[in-house]
């Protein structure tokens, strides 16, 4: 906080009864490589980026610092799976190839339900020899530990009928991290036609708290909260 004091309201009173400025006045930095100054950041850009486009009208999140810059622009055919389990089977059966964009959908707040964690699948790709060779896109979430070419929190999610629900194997997906874009090469007319044909899959959980959550949860873009 002392490093950021030029960005803070130092007069704000805190729970200590003292101001922010008073709280951080005696703080020391013992290792400049661990806590950098504002003028000497680890990266010239932030840790994460929000991408938008025809595949994520209200946003998706990528941990850009964990993606090799050679992959900041990527284009490939979609390999579509309706659950993490289906995608996992495809890895073991060699159903995913270098250059693919792996789409795991119906894992968002409503679909999961609960916005399931996809980090283990990302690790599976790495150990399966596909690290930096494919992209992973999902309406599920990732932990802070996750690294590599993966985009999550896609909104609106597939269970809400978002564009992710309309993607088919072979559709070409384009990713441009620098331009903050995530698109599918389909016309608006084709997406509208598919949307009319789409049918919501039955819920995975039909009783208890998770069923209530799935019914009421909002999009990841608005916090996946219950209203």
83 is catalytic: no
**Six-digit token string for 146:** 């996750």
Phi, psi of 161 (to 5 degrees): 80, 20
Secondary structure (3-state) at 212: helix
Buried-state track 87-119, b at ≥16 Cβ within 10 A, e below 16: bbeebeeeebeeebbbbbbbbbbbbbbbbbbbb
- Which one from 54, 143, 155, 187 is the annotated catalytic residue? 143
Cis peptide bond upstream of 113, omega within 30 = yes
Closest CA relative to residue 87, chosen from 128, 51, 145: 128
Strand-strand pairing, 172-176 and 150-152:
unpaired
Catalogue the active-site residues.
143
């Amino acid at each position: 906080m002392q490093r950021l004091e030029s960005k803070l309201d130092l007069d704000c009173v805190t729970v200590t009864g003292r101001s922010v400025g008073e709280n951080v006045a005696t703080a020391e930095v013992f290792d400049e490589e661990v806590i950098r100054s504002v003028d000497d950041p680890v990266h010239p850009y932030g840790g994460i980026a929000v991408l938008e486009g025809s595949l994520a009208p209200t946003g998706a999140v990528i941990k850009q610092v964990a993606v090799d810059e050679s992959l900041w622009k990527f284009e490939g055919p979609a390999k579509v799976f309706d659950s993490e389990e289906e995608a996992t089977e495809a890895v073991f059966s060699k159903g995913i190839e270098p250059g693919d964009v792996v789409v795991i959908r119906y894992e968002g707040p409503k679909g999961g339900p609960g916005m399931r964690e996809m980090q283990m699948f990302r690790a599976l790709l790495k150990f399966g020899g596909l690290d930096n060779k494919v992209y992973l896109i999902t309406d599920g979430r990732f932990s802070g530990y996750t690294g590599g070419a993966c985009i999550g929190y896609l909104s609106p999610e597939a269970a809400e009928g978002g564009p992710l629900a309309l993607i088919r194997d072979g559709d070409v997906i384009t990713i441009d991290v620098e331009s903050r874009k995530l698109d599918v090469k389909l016309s608006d007319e084709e997406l509208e036609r598919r949307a009319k044909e789409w049918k919501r899959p039955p819920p995975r959980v039909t009783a208890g708290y998770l069923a209530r959550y799935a019914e009421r949860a909002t999009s990841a873009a608005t916090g996946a909260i219950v209203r």
